[in-house]
Amino acid sequence: MIGSILDLGSTIIDKLWPDAGEREKAKLRLVELQSKGELVEIESRLKVMLAEMSGNWLQRSWRPILMLTIIAIVANNYLLYPYMALFWAEAPRLELPPQLWSLMELGLGGYVVGRSTEKVIKTWRGNGG
């Protein structure tokens, strides 16, 4: 699977870096990461994600449900609460621990990267890759 990750990474680099010299530097960095064993962690995460995607509805959906729950808390605290507090002294403000805020940032960042990668793969496959 590491070979597949290297191939995918190389394809993404080819699509994103217009300068040939920069492309080669990025590919060398990818090979360095592989030689240091840092791609093994990515491979294990990928295996977990693939196993979750092939499971039942709850296995496929727990991450989006968690992200929506965190976003609902943020929306309550920053959109609804200020207005409700004007008219209701007991307006509910929900506690959002810093770990959940970090998890939301990580989840949203992962979503953006994942969607970008998904689009690159679709484009790559569409061009005969």
**What pLDDT score does 79 carry?**
92
Query: Same domain, yes or no, for 39 and 1?
Result: yes
Query: Same domain, yes or no, for 70 and 104?
Result: yes
Query: Same domain, yes or no, for 82 and 108?
Result: yes
Range of the domain at 50: 1-54
DSSP single-letter state for residue 79 = I
Query: Same domain, yes or no, for 92 and 117?
Result: yes
Q: Taking Cα atoms as reference points, which of 112, 49, 100, 109 lies closest to residue 71?
A: 100
Work out the pLDDT band at 128, boundaries 50, 70, 90: very low
Query: Same domain, yes or no, for 85 and 124?
Result: yes
Is the pLDDT reported for residue 93 higher than 70?
yes
Query: Same domain, yes or no, for 68 and 125?
Result: yes
pTM of the shown model = 0.47
Burial of 126 (0-12, 13-18, 19+ CB in 10 A): exposed
**What pLDDT score does 34 carry?**
75
Query: Same domain, yes or no, for 13 and 37?
Result: yes
pLDDT tens string 63-91: 788 888 888 888 998 999 999 999 998 98
How far, in Å, CA of 62 to CA of 94, rounded?
A: 21
Beta carbons of 76 and 92 less than 8 angstroms apart? yes
User: Average pLDDT of the chain?
Assistant: 76
Query: Same domain, yes or no, for 68 and 107?
Result: yes
Domains contained in the chain, number:
2
Query: Same domain, yes or no, for 73 and 128?
Result: yes
Say how many CA atoms lie within 13 Å of 5 toward its Cβ: 18
Q: Tokens 């005969």 — which residue? A: 128
pLDDT tens string 17-57: 778 888 888 888 877 777 777 777 777 777 777 777 777 88
Query: Same domain, yes or no, for 112 and 70?
Result: yes
Is the pLDDT reported for residue 105 higher than 70?
yes
Query: Same domain, yes or no, for 124 and 67?
Result: yes
pLDDT tens string 116-127: 666 665 665 665
